[in-house]
Amino acid sequence: MAQPAVDEPTATPATAHEAIDKRVAGVLPNYRTADGTIPFEPITAKQKITIAAKDSFDYPVYFLSGFFSGIGQLSNQNPGFGQGMKGFGHRFITGYADQSIGNMLAEGTLPALFREDPRYFRIGAGGGTGGHRLKYALTRIFVTKTDRNTLRFNFSEIVGNAASTAISNTYLPDQRNVKDNTQKFLTAIGTDAFSNVIKEFWPDLKHAMAARKVNKEAAKAAKHPSE
């Protein structure tokens, strides 16, 4: 049953709202993060599909697929693909398919169908302790906002990743058993949960690194005033 979104962990608005980085560390796609401290505004089905497409086809995704394909090659995952460039190519294509199909379903198609909001609403440093924010980030895998700004079970995330796992059986012949399917599903859910944690805490880390750089430069200037 839907619940009013006010039951969500509260975020304290800052005096000036910080712009959301579209890339974490300047690289990883971050199009799904929204400021949870400002009044909620729903997005259209087209905007949901656009978010999913950006997360699926942005250039860093290809490098990530290549990285994980290399790991799969070394550990000989899906041995039916073989080794060499042919095997790597199979692993790259299927790995990328896993990511893009999962994104398009969980972030675009199903949120539009179920009228759920695929965005992660960051509560920020004013939203509570680090532990409180961590719990909030992890539980957004199971709880989401609807287009009416109510909370309910995150059908898009769970059904989307389950459907993506089922679809992968058509092109991963070595992983068509219950054990492998369960592992793929849990890996997808776990990856999205970890992604939420990054979305929540990346600005804190960025500010800490910037402050450390400023303090280091100030200390250097004080030590060598003539430089």
Structural domain boundaries in the chain: 3-223
- Band (pLDDT 50/70/90 cuts) for residue 168 is very high
- Band (pLDDT 50/70/90 cuts) for residue 15 is very low
The confidence score (pLDDT) of residue 207 equals 85
Range with the poorest average pLDDT among 87-91, 100-104, 192-196: 87-91
Average pLDDT over residues 54-63: 88
Residue type, 23: R
Cβ-based neighbour number of residue 26 at 10 Å:
9
The confidence score (pLDDT) of residue 19 equals 78
Contact 154, 145 (CB under 8 A): no
Q: Where is pLDDT greater, at 15 or 42?
A: 42
Contact 196, 120 (CB under 8 A): yes
The confidence score (pLDDT) of residue 161 equals 96
The confidence score (pLDDT) of residue 225 equals 67
Contact 29, 55 (CB under 8 A): yes
